[in-house]
Structure 1
Amino acid sequence: PAPARTPDTDETAPTTPVTPVPAPNALTDTMSDRARSLLVPVADPEARTPAPPPGVSPVLPGRPDADRPQVRAPGHVDIANGPPCPWCSTPNRPDRHYCARCAMPLEASGDQSDLRAPWWRRLFGGRRRETPWAGDRPRLRRVFDRIGTWITVVVVVTLAVLGFMYIPDGYQATRDHFAKRAPVSPDGIKASRSYAGHKPELVIDQLSNTWWGPGIDQSGKGEWIEVTFTEPTRLLDVIITPGVSTRAAKIKESALPHRVKATITMKDGSVKTRDLTLDQGAGGQRRPFRVGEVTKVRFTIESSHAASANKQVAIAEIEFFGPSSANRTS
């Protein structure tokens, strides 16, 4: 109903329209149309008809039964000139190991037994071999096997030849290594030249305060001193004492031999050489010699330590050592 008029109310004044309030929980036409557009028509489900039962039910595949083997009696094997079986007397081929009728092992007779081949046939691969037994796999002979065999033969022959050549020297060297040393005295001595009062005999007098010198300054290159033995002698070691004495205080009084060449003359006239290198120090210096059947040894000076124009090279002593059991051999 419209509001009642009052005396103070102006009839010509505009009025504000009143918006109707929708009822609560009610959908408008627009919302209803939108909801209907989202609906998808779905057909009614049809009832499924049951499948008809199969006519034949499935089964597993069957396994066929094997036929029962038929046992046959062994027939008579007639082989002319074949060795008879010791069990059933059936002839068999010569290359068989078991009987063809009773399958028993065949015993080889004296004529059929295989003899052991000689070593040269086995070494060079003889072709006469035993027939392999049933089920055995024969060993294959490859080219590399034969090459390896020949290489082994060559190595063995080479070692045998070298052993025949060097075994005596090796045996003697072993004896010399473990032999007890004994001093050996030369029977004679001489030198290329000598300084006055210092003859070469002073080198083998077994005194350390006497010496030999060539009497020329500088290194004395080419000067030599030589010892001789009446009987052929085996020498193992040599001791050379350079200088005028074994005392260190007198080492600078003369030049000291550095490189010495030893020329050795053997019993049969052959000549061998040894190069000896001496240190620059006082006292005797031992060097291995190890040579047998010696009749003469010459020591030639090739260079010297501390050589100068006012010094000459000097050697105080030369000593030889050989086996203690027998110094000299005849």
Structure 2
Amino acid sequence: MRSCPECGAANGDTDDFCGNCGSYLGWSQESGESAPGAAAPQRAAGAAATTNPPATGADTATLAGSDAAAPGSTRGTNGAQGTSAAAAPQSAGPAAPAPTPPRTASAGPTRPVVPPARPTSTAPTRPEPSVPPRSDAADAAPITAVQPAKPVAARPVVRPAEVRETDGPPCPACGTPNRPGRKFCRRCAAPLDAPEPVAPLPWWRTRWPFRRRVRGGSGRLFRALVTLAVLAALAIGALFLLPAGRSLFEDTRDKLSGATAVSPSRVTASAEVPGHPAGSATDGLNNRYWGAPAVGDSLTFTFRAPFRLVDLVVTSGASTDPQVYRSEARPIALDLVTTTSKGQVTHKSITLNDKPGPQTVPTGISDVVTVQLVVRSAAGTGPGRHIALAEVEFFRRD
């Protein structure tokens, strides 16, 4: 098992990331740790080197001298001298003194070698086997030939059985199975208990003031009040601006479309001068006119079908000729009263220039069935003069 260096949680030997905190486990094994099987041979080799240091040149010479003095002696693996395997040959004379071994440069004080005592009797006796003298330098000499140490087999390490993680949920990132209870994947450290993705909000919920706030339930009352205020403003605007918007739309259509003249089906007047009836205002001739006795008189035009009155063309005076034009009084202010098919009445003031010729007045009134012109003021009035209105023309949108 591998322990996490961050939180200490236990993980499997094959896991790359901690299942509790998601830390990387590749650095949890110590770099100086070695295999247990290699420690025993190293300890054995070190012990052998300590017990048997390498031999020096002086020690080699000492061993050579000892072997020459006792050719039949043998040496064991532990450095002790063995006895002679064959008896020394008999001699009639006394035994010669053993040669003094050379002084070695070994460490420590050495004792002098004492030669064996001579026999007192001259009778031939069986000589004792000669034993080469032992010296302290020989005892202190290191052993050069040893049997190599036998390596000790490493003790087997008992490891717990690996937990099979095939029964756990697969990683959503790499698909590796993990045991239940892990928080991070053992291969890629991806979170295993990731929350479900939240569905995106509709576009209108992302606009103020309908966007959702971070804290649940906050701002609901404020958003409701703002929504009601917006709806109320739209209703009020539609109530007051709808007619203006419709009028603007119709005026645009009037300018983009053509105009066609339309003739009334009937013309009546509140008063008229003999010889100058009301019908003369719509006969198409500029030298004939409707004569009004005084200011306040009116003309009424009735049409067969409702239409949109785009323009009104008025020709004031008795004629378009300048000399004839000033022979009678001329209207310079008129009241335009229109009635729609639904009974709605509209009033509009018209101001004319005191000059001969037609003058165009834009109106832009829809669903018109009746038009009335009332004289409010006139120029050139005086005794024996009446008000002359030469021609009135109406135009509708194509």
Q: TM-score range by the shorter chain?
A: 0.5 to 0.7
Asked if 1:186 corresponds to 2:260, the answer is: no
Instruction: Report 1 or 2 for greater relative contact order, CA contacts < 8 Å, sequence distance ≥ 6.
Output: 1
Q: Is the Cα–Cα contact under 8 Å of residues 74 and 101 in structure 1 kept in the other structure? A: no
Asked if 1:117 corresponds to 2:210, the answer is: no
Structure 2 residue matching 1:174: 3-state secondary structure = helix
Asked if 1:273 corresponds to 2:216, the answer is: no
C-alpha distance 161-316 of structure 1, shift in aligned 2 (>3 A): closer
Give the CA deviation at 1:239. Answer: 0.5
1:104 maps to what in 2? 190
Distance in 2 of aligned mates of 1:91 and 1:169: 73
Q: Is the Cα–Cα contact under 8 Å of residues 256 and 304 in structure 1 kept in the other structure? A: yes
Render the CA deviation track for 1:285-311: whole Å, top value 9, x for unaligned.
Answer: 000122122111110011112333342
Matched length: 231
Identify unmatched segments of 5+ residues in structure 2. Answer: 10-18, 22-168
Q: Is the Cα–Cα contact under 8 Å of residues 234 and 291 in structure 1 kept in the other structure? A: yes
Q: Is the Cα–Cα contact under 8 Å of residues 85 and 92 in structure 1 kept in the other structure? A: no
Q: Is the Cα–Cα contact under 8 Å of residues 84 and 92 in structure 1 kept in the other structure? A: no
C-alpha distance 223-153 of structure 1, shift in aligned 2 (>3 A): closer
1:77 maps to what in 2? 20
Asked if 1:222 corresponds to 2:308, the answer is: no
Structure 1 residue matching 2:286: 3-state secondary structure = coil
Render the CA deviation track for 1:163-220: whole Å, top value 9, x for unaligned.
Answer: 7665544433222222111111111001111111000100000000001112x3xxx3
Identity of aligned residues (%): 29
Structure 2 residue matching 1:246: 3-state secondary structure = coil
C-alpha distance 315-129 of structure 1, shift in aligned 2 (>3 A): same
Larger Rg: 2
Asked if 1:282 corresponds to 2:356, the answer is: yes
2:212 maps to what in 1? 126
Give the CA deviation at 1:148. Answer: 9.6
2:320 maps to what in 1? 246
Distance in 2 of aligned mates of 1:287 and 1:118: 53
Render the CA deviation track for 1:273-329: whole Å, top value 9, x for unaligned.
Answer: 111111111100000122122111110011112333342211000011112x4xxxx
Structure 2 residue matching 1:314: 3-state secondary structure = strand
Distance in 2 of aligned mates of 1:71 and 1:205: 111
Give the CA deviation at 1:249. Answer: 2.0
C-alpha distance 284-92 of structure 1, shift in aligned 2 (>3 A): farther
Identify unmatched segments of 5+ residues in structure 1. Answer: 1-69, 131-140, 326-330
> Which residues of 2 match residues 126-165 of structure 1 at below 5 A?
126-127=212-213
Distance in 2 of aligned mates of 1:187 and 1:272: 21
C-alpha distance 164-287 of structure 1, shift in aligned 2 (>3 A): closer
2:86 maps to what in 1? none
2:291 maps to what in 1? 213
Structure 2 residue matching 1:213: 3-state secondary structure = strand
Distance in 2 of aligned mates of 1:159 and 1:71: 70
What TM-score comes out, normalization by structure 1 length?
0.57
Give the CA deviation at 1:232. Answer: 1.6
Query: What is the aligned counterpart of 1:200 among 273, 278, 296?
Result: 278
Q: Is the Cα–Cα contact under 8 Å of residues 289 and 318 in structure 2 kept in the other structure? A: yes
C-alpha distance 288-119 of structure 1, shift in aligned 2 (>3 A): same
2:386 maps to what in 1? 312
Structure 1 residue matching 2:355: 3-state secondary structure = coil
Q: Is the Cα–Cα contact under 8 Å of residues 237 and 321 in structure 1 kept in the other structure? A: yes
Amino acid at match of 2:330: L
Structure 1 residue matching 2:289: 3-state secondary structure = coil
C-alpha distance 174-196 of structure 1, shift in aligned 2 (>3 A): same
Render the CA deviation track for 1:99-146: whole Å, top value 9, x for unaligned.
Answer: 89965366957xx1211235665453434679xxxxxxxxxx9xx999
Distance in 1 of aligned mates of 2:352 and 2:396: 21
Distance in 1 of aligned mates of 2:277 and 2:181: 104
Give the CA deviation at 1:262. Answer: 0.8
